[in-house]
Amino acid sequence: MKAIMKAMVYYGENDIRFEERPTPKIIDPADAIIRVTKTTICGTDLGIWKGKNPEIQENAIQTTGQFNGRILGHEGIGIVEEVGSSVKNFKKGDKVIISCVSKCGICENCQKQLYSHCQNHGGWIMGYMIDGTQTEYVRTPFADTSLYLLPEELNEDVAVFLSDVLPTSHEIGVQYGNVKPGDTIAVVGTGPIGMGCLLTAQLYSPEQIIAIDMDDNRLKLARELGATHTINSTREDAIQRVMEITHDRGVDCAMEAVGVEATWNICQNIVKEGGHLANVGVHGKSVNFELNKLWIKNLTITTGLVNTNTTRMLLKTCCSGKLPLERLATHHFKFDEFEKAYDVFKHAAEQNAMKVIIDIT
């Protein structure tokens, strides 16, 4: 491995730079070093860029006394370059999917499959509390339990989505939303996470899927991928239209897939009694929670950070070809075009971008 690599580095609000950084080294016997071949940009990365997560700097200063930037990214695939002395399941040369969640597998929370809250400095740390995947090489803690062998037959663009967007959508949206055969569900926000919710919900045979967004291009794709109804909330009253579709009953499950008050408000007003409101979006500000109206409805309201406990199942499902995720990979960029990729993803609506793929090799 070369001593110096290029990476996308966050230094503070609205300050990210494509620059040279030292190539990572093995720190713990459970680590692996992965040569990244494909990565992507998540909405969470945009949030960090915009200053949504000041704890990144605060944590670094508390632990080391200084903040020298953080390499962004928590999604990607690559090739194992080096493994620590305790790694048993992977070896140099293996092609792998890098999980967004690092899990020790032995702490109390990991024993409960609450991997996102691993107590041994795991969970969602990559591109957050430690350097991430938007680079040429990345150190992955707990390699034996946080990497997945990449099957030869799997589309590599789809493999990147198994790092985060697909398990997040499935677990926090569909599973927490308790989607069942015959249900009517609403997906509010049809970005990558919303599309993942729409696709994986179909594994459970709902009768109706209502997709709500402000972007006609995304709604068109949602219809092509399985939505039975689409609503553009800039032209229609989304709440009223959902009630018309459901004959004033509301939906069994509403999935909030954006993380803003407007989409939350739609969700809390369209769920029927006994239904589920699954919040998947990352909220940077408080919202108006109308508990005075909702307490009587016997609702289940869930939040969460992905645990990746369904990643292996989803990997097999993707290999079967039953999830047309390759349609979400709308833009491809070379590694030296990383800054352009960020600009396109930041202006996704104008660029008709769903998910951007950065090909590093």
Cβ atoms of residues 73 and 132 within 8 Å: yes
Report residue 39 CA to chain centroid gap.
13
Span 206-221, pLDDT tens digits: 999 999 999 999 999 9
Span 319-357, pLDDT tens digits: 998 899 999 999 999 999 999 999 999 999 999 999 999
| Average pLDDT value over all residues in the chain | 97
Cβ atoms of residues 223 and 211 within 8 Å: yes
Question: Smallest Cα–Cα separation from 345: which of 167, 134, 138, 90?
Answer: 134
Cα–Cα dist 148/157, whole Å: 15
Percent of the chain with pLDDT over 70: 100
* Joined tokens for residue 328: 């979400």
Confidence of residue 1 (pLDDT cuts 50, 70, 90): confident
How confident is the model at residue 361, as a pLDDT?
Answer: 82
Q: Which residues pair with 70 in a beta bridge?
A: 10
CB count in 10 Å sphere of residue 3: 7
How confident is the model at residue 52, as a pLDDT?
Answer: 86
3-state class (DSSP) for residue 263: helix
Percent of the chain with pLDDT over 90: 95
Domain locations in the chain as residue ranges: 4-164+308-359, 166-302
Counting Cα atoms < 13 Å in the Cβ hemisphere of 334 gives 2
CB count in 10 Å sphere of residue 224: 10
In the chain, what is the straight-line distance between the N-terminal and C-terminal CA atoms, in Å?
14
Cβ atoms of residues 148 and 330 within 8 Å: no
Q: Quick check: 171 pLDDT over 90? A: yes
Cα–Cα dist 258/213, whole Å: 10
Q: Of the given ranges (43-57, 97-111, 177-191, 199-213), which has the lowest mean pLDDT?
A: 43-57
Span 26-39, pLDDT tens digits: 999 999 999 999 99
Span 251-298, pLDDT tens digits: 999 999 999 999 999 999 999 999 999 999 999 889 999 999 999 999
Question: What number is the average pLDDT over the span 63-91?
Answer: 96
Cα–Cα dist 95/64, whole Å: 33
Whether domain 4-164+308-359 has CATH 3.30.930.10: the reply is no
Residues 166-302, CATH architecture: 3-Layer(aba) Sandwich (3.40)
* Joined tokens for residue 297: 């409805």
Q: Quick check: 90 pLDDT over 90? A: yes
Angle at which helices 216-224 and 192-201 cross, to 10°? 20
Counting Cα atoms < 13 Å in the Cβ hemisphere of 253 gives 29
Q: Which residues pair with 126 in a beta bridge?
A: 130
Cβ atoms of residues 134 and 39 within 8 Å: yes
How confident is the model at residue 136, as a pLDDT?
Answer: 98
How confident is the model at residue 64, as a pLDDT?
Answer: 87
| Better pLDDT: 51 or 91 | 91
Cβ atoms of residues 137 and 36 within 8 Å: yes
| Better pLDDT: 64 or 212 | 212
Span 91-146, pLDDT tens digits: 999 999 999 999 999 999 999 999 999 999 999 999 999 999 999 999 999 999 99
> DSSP string covering 70-124, please?
EE----EEEEEEEE-TT--S--TT-EEEEPSSB--S-SHHHHTT-GGG-TTT-BS
Question: Smallest Cα–Cα separation from 281: which of 301, 309, 303?
Answer: 303
For residue 159, give the amino acid letter: A
Q: What is the pTM of this model?
A: 0.96
How confident is the model at residue 284, as a pLDDT?
Answer: 84
* Joined tokens for residue 212: 């709500």
